[in-house]
Amino acid sequence: MNQDISLPGAGPAVPRPSPQDAVEPAPEAIQNAWVQDWRAQEERALADPQAYWASRAQELEWSQTWDTVLDDSRAPFFRWFTGARTNIVTNAVDRHLLTARKNKLALIWVGEDTEQVRTYSYFSLAREVDTMANILRAMGVEKGDVVTIYLPRIPEVFFAMLACAKIGAIHSVVFAGYSSDALAARIDDSQSRVVITADGSWVNGKVFPLKDLVDEAVRFSPTVRSVIVVRNTGTTVEMDPTRHHWYHEMCQLPIAKGRCATEQVDAEDPLFILYTSGSTGAPKAIMHTHGGYMVGTYATLRDSFDIHDEDRWWCTADPGWITGHSYLVYGPLLNGATVFMYEGSPTYPYPDRWWEMVERYGITSFYTAPTAIRTLMRFGEAWVRRHDLSSLRLLGSVGEPLNPEAWRWFHHVVGQDRCPIIDTWWQTETGMFQITTVPTMPGKPGAAGRPVFGQEAAVVDENGVEVEDGTEGFLVLKHPWPAMLRTIYGQDERYVNTYWSTYPGLYLTGDSAKRDADGWFWIIGRTDDVIKVSGHRLGTAEIESALLTHPDVVEAAAIGLPHAVKGNAVHCAVVLAPGVEPDRHLEDGLRRHIAATLSPIAKPDSFEFPEALPKTRSGKIVRRVLRARALGQDEGDLSTLDDA
Ligand code: WT7
């Protein structure tokens, strides 16, 4: 592999693994936990992972059972539950209609204007999904077609994803904070013919013009034939009568009415693609399938967040990320849970909005991201103390390391020392948790936990040899798992090279970590050219190519620098065109340019404007040197640099 993997010298300070730090769960938190004897379950699962996963799959419904649990004959193109037929919607929606859950709330939705509330029982969710599925079918969407979904956090995002799944179409959800360029690139790459969007979305009291951005994105698209527009903000938008359709109008058409049968698909048929940033090149379309993904998200959510019928589950993630797919939409519905979704942000109009929602809706299980915890921590605990959070039972975290200080605040102030904290390490690629805890395990502030049942992880050196406990190295996964990505859509070779070529037989995560003597894993950070900013995954290559389309920029390099709230912040070294002088104005212009061509989440915090970038003789930018310089550290060995 040509990847220049180096361990990050300058990640956030990592606490020394110390087993004494373990926090035992409060007895009342684990009384009825599904997983009591976790050591026994761990042993049983590892003794025969395939038998373990088969037993978990049997908790769900299949219209035809599998011939083989795991087909590894073409590894690393693993196939799970081959020969089986089902549909994730059969298990996420349909089967609940045959039980008392039919009348249970599936979704409670609250708008940024909290007077706007919409609730759906499993029964009415099923009806909504049928309507959307009928409409998609009538538009000619067929099994295997890709539908792009560019929607804010409103109920229609559930309907759209489930409707695609129901008819065997592949959804490609694009985060509604991406620019039109980023959206266009994803539409083109996936060759999608239908886009589902809204007129706008509410962002801190203002309208973000989603439909206008879609118009820009599809103006030159050779594939898109139809755009379905959900009315959300009520803003005026331009509708081209030949290919733009109001969703609420289509719902009135005869074609929208009636039931829509859930297509039984092969376990290995694609369910969705989701774009994520990699080390190099354009974002990768990670592909997941119906069967294995269903089993993996169902089982891991049930074990780690101990889902019971009386729970009210709130995952704050956006459906545009994998967390939204696996643990806002599919995992909770597969478990028959009541899902809460809030449209707005945690700090608007005041930093107690989330706690207000927890109190008002009696949330029991609350899953969020470290950057949000650190942001809310800064506003002080008085905002939390205003609200009665006694309904909370379990807290969770995902996206980047939850540093011990934030862990303790979350545990003490939000969880009132009662609620176990479930830190979950996983990736877009893994589809489901890989390293986490179940509530009966002790929690360690700053550690993600242990590999999920049926999985083993290891920390290795450059040669793939396991390092000693307490030593930092490359984090790898040892066993295939049902919700694993099957490939990068249309790029099988890139799939093999990215994940499976560095250490044959081991899945390369791209993260560095340490394991402690108890077997808990402490995640440190990325080892590749991916930057995690507020939990968002950004590729340095994407930021650099966005900069290079600016007329004043000749060369650019992006790196991540430690940041107290965001985890990492983007820093850019930019070589300017002759005659261009750097100043505040120019910096702001570059920031706006990145926001407009990529996304506001990628806006750099800081810039430097050198005469030239440090490069190897073969022309590769040496980010290590940039990082050391920016942090005022020793630049290390410069002998391989091109001195021109
Ligand atoms: C990368 C994957 C999977 C959900 C959201 C992110 C980092 C994720 C943790 C955690 C430390 C974490 C890793 C990983 N990461 N969860 N609990 N502790 N780091 O998905 O955008 O695909 O990013 O996020 O660096 O490789 P993603």
Q: Is the CB of 314 under 6 A from ligand 1?
A: no
Domain count across the chain: 1
Query: What pLDDT is recorded for position 482?
Result: 98
What CATH number should be reported for the domain holding residue 617? 3.30.300.30
Q: Are 525 and 512 in contact (CB under 8 A)?
A: yes
**Distance from residue 234's CA to the centre of ligand 1 (Å):** 36
Q: Determine the length of the chain.
A: 644
Residue identified by tokens 């070529």 is 501
Mutate to test the pocket of ligand 1, among 426, 444, 538 (most ligand atoms within 8 A of CB): 426
Q: Are 565 and 374 in contact (CB under 8 A)?
A: yes
The answer to the question of residue 261 being in a domain is no
Q: Distance (Å, rounded) from C-alpha 102 to C-alpha 123?
A: 5
Nearest alpha-carbon partner for 527 in 545, 542, 543, 508: 508
Q: Distance (Å, rounded) from C-alpha 447 to C-alpha 286?
A: 27
**What does pTM read for this prediction?**
0.94
The answer to the question of residue 127 being in a domain is no
Print the domain residue range for 545. Answer: 533-631
Query: What pLDDT is recorded for position 427?
Result: 98
Q: Distance (Å, rounded) from C-alpha 302 to C-alpha 304?
A: 6
The answer to the question of residue 565 being in a domain is yes
Q: Whose CA is nearest to atom 12 of ligand 1?
A: 400
Q: Whose CA is nearest to atom 1 of ligand 1?
A: 427
Atom of ligand 1 nearest to the CA of 435: 17
**DSSP code per residue over 222-258:** SS--EEEEE-SS-------TTTEEEHHHHTTSGGG-S
For β-strands 68-71 and 79-82, DSSP reports them as antiparallel
Q: How far is CA 148 from CA 190, 191, 315, 400, 479, in A?
A: 9, 9, 22, 27, 32
Mutate to test the pocket of ligand 1, among 321, 400, 434 (most ligand atoms within 8 A of CB): 400
Query: What pLDDT is recorded for position 636?
Result: 84
**Distance from residue 427's CA to the centre of ligand 1 (Å):** 5
**Distance from residue 55's CA to the centre of ligand 1 (Å):** 28
Q: Is the CB of 299 under 6 A from ligand 1?
A: no
Q: Distance (Å, rounded) from C-alpha 137 to C-alpha 283?
A: 29
Nearest alpha-carbon partner for 327 in 376, 277, 360, 367: 367
154-176 in b/e form (b: 16+ CB < 10 A) is bbbbbbbbbbbbbbbbbbbbbbb
Q: Whose CA is nearest to atom 10 of ligand 1?
A: 425
**Distance from residue 613's CA to the centre of ligand 1 (Å):** 30
Query: What pLDDT is recorded for position 618?
Result: 85
Q: Whose CA is nearest to atom 8 of ligand 1?
A: 399
The answer to the question of residue 382 being in a domain is no
Q: Is the CB of 426 under 6 A from ligand 1?
A: yes
Q: Whose CA is nearest to atom 14 of ligand 1?
A: 427
Nearest alpha-carbon partner for 537 in 217, 330, 345, 323: 323
Residue 52 has what DSSP assignment? Answer: H
Per the DSSP assignment, residues forming a β-bridge with 121 are: 105
Per the DSSP assignment, residues forming a β-bridge with 523 are: 513
Query: What pLDDT is recorded for position 18?
Result: 55
Q: Is the CB of 407 under 6 A from ligand 1?
A: no
Backbone φ, ψ for residue 17 (5° rounding): -55, 125
Query: What pLDDT is recorded for position 248?
Result: 98
Atom of ligand 1 nearest to the CA of 426: 3
Regions of the chain with pLDDT less than 50: 1-14
Tell me: cis bond preceding 49? Omega within 30 of 0 counts: no
Query: What pLDDT is recorded for position 21?
Result: 78
Measured torsion, CA atoms of residues 579, 583, 585, 586, in degrees rounded to the nearest 10: 50
Atom of ligand 1 nearest to the CA of 526: 25
The answer to the question of residue 552 being in a domain is yes
Q: Is the CB of 318 under 6 A from ligand 1?
A: no
Q: Is the CB of 522 under 6 A from ligand 1?
A: no
The answer to the question of residue 623 being in a domain is yes
Q: How many Cβ atoms from other residues are within 10 Å of residue 615's Cβ?
A: 18
Backbone φ, ψ for residue 622 (5° rounding): -100, 95
Q: Is the CB of 624 under 6 A from ligand 1?
A: no
Q: Is the CB of 448 under 6 A from ligand 1?
A: yes
Q: Whose CA is nearest to atom 3 of ligand 1?
A: 427
Q: Is the CB of 398 under 6 A from ligand 1?
A: yes
Q: Is the CB of 508 under 6 A from ligand 1?
A: no
Query: What pLDDT is recorded for position 635?
Result: 85
The answer to the question of residue 378 being in a domain is no
Q: Is the CB of 532 under 6 A from ligand 1?
A: yes
Q: Whose CA is nearest to atom 21 of ligand 1?
A: 537
Mutate to test the pocket of ligand 1, among 437, 523, 524, 601 (most ligand atoms within 8 A of CB): 523
Q: Is the CB of 510 under 6 A from ligand 1?
A: yes
**Distance from residue 509's CA to the centre of ligand 1 (Å):** 10
Q: How far is CA 606 from CA 297, 402, 585, 587, in A?
A: 38, 24, 13, 8
Strand (E) or helix (H) holding 423: strand 421-424
**Distance from residue 425's CA to the centre of ligand 1 (Å):** 6
110-136 pLDDT, tens digit per residue, is: 999 999 999 999 999 999 999 999 999
**Distance from residue 430's CA to the centre of ligand 1 (Å):** 10
